[in-house]
Amino acid sequence: MKAIAYKNAGPISAKDALIEFETDIPKPGPNDLLVEVRGVSVNPVDVKVRANMQPDSGPRILGFDAAGVVKAVGSDVTRFKPGDEVFYAGDLTRPGTNAEFQLVDERIVGRKPTSLGFAESAGMPLTTITAWEMLFDSFGLKEGEGEGESLLVIGGAGGVGSILIQLAKKLTGLNVIATASRADTQAWVKKMGADHVVNHRNPLDEEMKSLGISPRYVAALTNTDEHIGSIVALIKPRGHIALIDDPEGLDIMPLKLKALSLSWEFMFTRSMFQTEDMDVQHKLLNRVADLLDDGTLVSTVNKRGGTLSVESLRSAHEYQESGTAIGKTVLDGFSLVGIRT
């Protein structure tokens, strides 16, 4: 099968930053699905891994979102059968989605939304799982809760922010404030359902003071080390901060006086450590497929990058690294010769 990988960690500008190569079609383990990949997306984790993680042995296939068709199943699989259309975010410890075929544990796979094509569906899993776990695991909210409280989403126009805004507005009672600094990103977060928009180029505590809102929950999706002082100033006492980025240094002592909670959200934790509850990702993806199909949620895809190739994937990585990406970027899979998505 064809696959796209990288051999050496480094910048996307390197001549061989990404390579196409041939490799064997993998054979399913007991809990695995063998999926023919028909759509993929690009996430910040793709560029972080490519830039910073040297492959241990041979080329490493990237990609952490996919939609496709089940071609074969392992001996213990009970949730899917060959021919089923699925979507998922994969496993950081296994070969990725940028290939004709991929193995994935059925416990982290959901049914593909019938209302979306393969590429569009591939834009949803990783960011949706991240946002869902942030709301309901990190913050500990239950559906329908949050009336009278507010959530500040820092970096609202990115992939996670785009779906987090929607989940918070549709499934909880939270008032949602999103940050965005440009006219196009401000319009995007309003489209996703944000009640208010503030500019993260300005001190966020001053921006929030002008709104007269002190949120109990803060989703810090980008530049947490830059904003932490403002976050501590603006958040309610006994509030909760959840983050997904990688601040080089984070002094948590200022959180003490307000008795604040701090959580990291990392959606790969369940698959990496084979947690006893990892099948909750299967269940939430099925729920999200229902919510997309009934129109409760809308796609966060904002850019289509063509069919998967070294050139198209390089362009998608460059766009993701530019700092101007809005929503999600998706590509059609290798296998879509003559197939519309």
């932490």: which residue's tokens?
228
Determine the pLDDT at residue 338.
41
CA distance 134 to 140: 8
> Using 50, 70 and 90 to split pLDDT, how confident is the model at 339?
very low
Residues 158-202: pLDDT tens digits?
999 999 999 999 999 999 999 999 999 999 999 999 999 999 999
> What is the percent of the chain where pLDDT is above 90?
95
pLDDT at 335 over 90: no
Parallel, antiparallel, or unpaired for β 175-179 and 240-243? unpaired
Task: Tell me phi and psi for residue 329, to 5 degrees.
Answer: -110, 130
Domains of the chain (ranges, CATH numbers): 2-124+276-332 (3.90.180.10), 127-264 (3.40.50.720)
Residues 87-114: pLDDT tens digits?
999 999 999 999 999 999 999 999 999 9
- Provide mean pLDDT across the span 136-163: 97
- Provide mean pLDDT across the span 10-35: 96
The CB-side HSE value for 294 (13 A sphere, CA atoms) comes to 7
Determine the pLDDT at residue 57.
84
pLDDT at 341 over 70: no
Taking each helix axis from N to C terminus, what angle separates 204-211 and 224-234, rounded to the nearest 10 degrees?
Answer: 40
> Using 50, 70 and 90 to split pLDDT, how confident is the model at 56?
confident
> Using 50, 70 and 90 to split pLDDT, how confident is the model at 337?
very low
pTM across the whole model: 0.95
Write down the mean pLDDT value for the chain. Answer: 95
- Provide mean pLDDT across the span 230-240: 98
pLDDT at 340 over 50: no
Determine the pLDDT at residue 194.
98
Residues 239-269: pLDDT tens digits?
999 999 999 889 999 999 999 999 999 999 9
> Using 50, 70 and 90 to split pLDDT, how confident is the model at 336?
low
Q: Decide if 88 contacts 38 (C-beta within 8 A).
A: no
Q: How far is CA 249 from the centre of its chain?
A: 23
CA distance 110 to 89: 10
pLDDT at 122 over 70: yes
